[in-house]
Chain A
Amino acid sequence: ETGVTQTPRHLVMGMTNKKSLKCEQHLGHNAMYWYKQSAKKPLELMFVYNFKEQTENNSVPSRFSPECPNSSHLFLHLHTLQPEDSALYLCASSQVSGSTDTQYFGPGTRLTVL
């Protein structure tokens, strides 16, 4: 596998479910990001991790909980979501955060909350 991978590609969940999104990067990068892409809205940065440490939380509700066990893996744990959380969730990585390094994106997880 090369680049940035995300699983699952599609997820349908109820409002009371708990699920997790997974992202893995094979680029040797040290920074990883979660973005949310909703219909008719600009891309929203959610979280940033640099060398496994969270450096940015863009006022994201606590029903979204990120985890970064190492520089190659990033998770987004989901619980008690709302229908308006339905969106495409994109993971990205770069050499380091806080720089002008290019960010490389995964294919995204299409989340539908019923």
Chain B
Amino acid sequence: GDSVTQMEGPVTLSEEAFLTINCTYTATGYPSLFWYVQYPGEGLQLLLKATKADDKGSNKGFEATYRKETTSFHLEKGSVQVSDSAVYFCALINNAGNMLTFGGGTRLMVKP
């Protein structure tokens, strides 16, 4: 079956540091890939997505590139802020019409 693996957290960074959260996946066919973010006490918000190989999703300074050859979708941001502190979830939907499969989530803590 489909699966998503994320690096375990928490990831603790200082403000303005560079962020990478690794995500790799296993899926049949050609999945669409997503990053969701969950701020404390809230639900999940779509952060960015990519629907085919080599696509780059971007939003709010975050980026992720769909790498089919390495089955990866790593999340990056050049300069994090305290307000980026949240839990980040990598997810996929495969084109066989199956359901959204989530990784375990990575907690990011940014200190001033």
A-side interface residues toward B, CB under 8 Å? Answer: 4, 6, 33, 42-43, 45, 48, 56, 88, 90, 92, 97-108
Contact = CB atoms under 8 A, between A and B. Distances in A.
B46 A102 contact: yes
Nearest to A44: B102
Nearest to A108: B43
A42 B103 contact: yes
B42 A107 contact: yes
Contact of B99 (A4, A42, A45): A45
A46 B44 CA distance: 16
Contacts, number: 48
Interface stretch (B11-19, B62-70, B73-81, B89-97): B89-97
A48 B104 CA distance: 21
A97 B93 CA distance: 10
Contacts of A107: 42-43
Given A42-B102, A43-B102, A56-B99, A104 B51 contact: no
B8 to A, nearest CB: 11
Contacts of B104: 42
